Amino acid sequence: MRAGIRLILENDPGITVVAEASDGNQAVELARKHDVDVALLDIRMPGGDGLKAAEQIARTAHVVMLTTFGEDSYVAQALKVGATGFLLKDTPPQDLINAVRKAAGGEPILAPQITKRLIERHLTTPDHATSARRKIEALTETERTVLELVGEGLSNTEIGERLYLATGTVKAHISRILPKLEVTNRVQAAIVAHEAGLTRS
């Protein structure tokens, strides 16, 4: 599987595969050595699992977890330790390339077919919902709208097109939204949006 992913990514002239690891501990070491921008990690890895590796690598790089439909609980944990998103293991080649590019630019990788079930099954509790609704009260009307679209998995460009805003303006809104929600990345902001019932999906 690693060989297949490497082949796909190396076919894109804008992506350089700098390292390949066989287990979690090696992934952490190689990520530090090569100063990577994006790390693709399998949730289940020998020698220190993907979740432990993700927690360490996410401090300096964007982490995208590879998962299957049967691993929702692991995905929830990955998001909590700082992963910027997740992909299904059968993601089509071009979608994989696009996802790595988005991750490198700080965009969240949210598989729409999994996100809603993930939030409902593993992250949302009455306490979380109440806390989320309290947090979004601090947002302006425009910020709430931007957060709603973040929760639906839209990129900055897509949000800008929907709201007739420049991409830089969208980024500025998000930079103000994150501290108000007491989160550090867009995926966590999307979780708050879902918990607060702000998204339509």
Mean pLDDT throughout 130-150? 92
Q: What is the pLDDT of residues 84-128, one digit of tens each?
A: 877 877 888 988 898 898 888 877 776 655 665 665 655 555 677
Domain residue ranges in the chain: 2-119, 124-195
Q: What is the pLDDT of residue 49?
A: 72
- The end-to-end CA distance of the chain, in Å, is 32
Mean pLDDT, residues 71-77: 68
Mean pLDDT of the chain: 83
Is the model more confident about 45 or about 119? 45
- pLDDT per residue as tens digits for the range 10-31: 989 999 999 999 888 899 999 9
- Residue 142, pLDDT score: 95
Q: How far is CA 74 from CA 42, 52, 55, 67, in A?
A: 10, 11, 13, 8
* pTM of the complete model: 0.67
The number of residues in the chain equals 201
Q: What is the pLDDT of residue 139?
A: 95
Architecture per CATH, 2-119: 3-Layer(aba) Sandwich (3.40)
- CATH fold for the domain made of 124-195: Arc Repressor Mutant, subunit A (1.10.10)
**Per-residue model confidence (pLDDT) at position 2:** 85
Structural element, H or E, at residue 66: strand 62-67
